[in-house]
Amino acid sequence: MSKVFLIAGLGADTRAYDKISIEADEIIRVDWIEPDKTDTLKLYSQKLIHQYNITHHSIVIGNSLGGMIAMEIAKEILLERTILISSIKTIDEAPWYFSLFKVLPVYKLIPGKLFTSMGFMIRFVFGKMNKADNWLFNDMLKKSSPKFVKWAMGAALHWDNKIIPKNVYTITGDKDDVFDYRRINDAIIVKGGTHIMIFDRAEEVNRILKEIIEK
């Protein structure tokens, strides 16, 4: 079986995949590397390809921002499967506020350290979660690199992909407040799934992943 690479979302680390169970010869959790200020998501994905030796016929699974990066990896090399969870394939699927913040880039005025200390916003963005899960997501955010978080916001907002390579699958929830499932084409919909369903709906996500990988 192919190698499986797991890429987390913005403000998270690979602990977001702790409840994901996949049968594979090798599973590689991709840690964030520090970007250059001028990196686009395309350039950053190329760095990950070389850093982690992502080769043809690998499987790449990306959550949220990680899904956008997975798309860029899939454009560079022929992957066996590219699986997006709570993410988007193209800029056409992006929410309305992407356009707003490109025109009014207020995020540039906010210190990066402030973004990583905004744990109190987690419930508003990701939805209701139990105490243990809330602690974990808050801890991941606090331990994120402020430089990376600020760069990633800008790089995501200026992402302009319109290409969908072969063998791309999207899993999204109909209660996701970050990426509206109604804008996402050809997605597998998890009823009641929020933006963190990779964690709090892991059993259902695991079942879908198994079906996709075994196709």
Number of domains in the chain: 1
pLDDT band for 133, please (50, 70, 90 cuts): confident
Q: What is the CATH number of the domain that holds 102?
A: 3.40.50.1820
Is the pTM above the cut of 0.75? yes
For 44, the token pair is: 């950053």
Q: Are 84 and 171 in contact (CB under 8 A)?
A: yes
Give yes or no for residue 147 having a pLDDT over 90. Answer: no
Closest CA to 39 of 178, 147, 173: 147
Mean pLDDT comparison of 2-6, 16-20, 48-52, highest-scoring range = 48-52
pLDDT band for 126, please (50, 70, 90 cuts): low
Q: Give the C-alpha separation, 212 to 129, whole Å.
A: 27
Q: Give the C-alpha separation, 107 to 112, whole Å.
A: 9
> pLDDT at position 106, please?
64
Mean pLDDT score of the chain: 88
Q: What percent of the chain has pLDDT over 90?
A: 64
> pLDDT at position 149, please?
86
> pLDDT at position 125, please?
57
> pLDDT at position 113, please?
65
Task: Dump pLDDT digits (tens) for 171-185.
Answer: 999 999 899 999 999
Task: Dump pLDDT digits (tens) for 53-96.
Answer: 999 999 999 999 999 999 999 999 999 999 999 999 999 999 99
Provide the domain limits for residue 150. Answer: 3-213
Of 101 and 32, more confident:
32
> pLDDT at position 109, please?
58
Cα–chain-centroid distance for residue 136?
A: 17
Q: Give the C-alpha separation, 138 to 142, whole Å.
A: 6
Q: Are 61 and 83 in contact (CB under 8 A)?
A: yes
Give yes or no for residue 1 having a pLDDT over 90. Answer: no
Of 125 and 43, more confident:
43
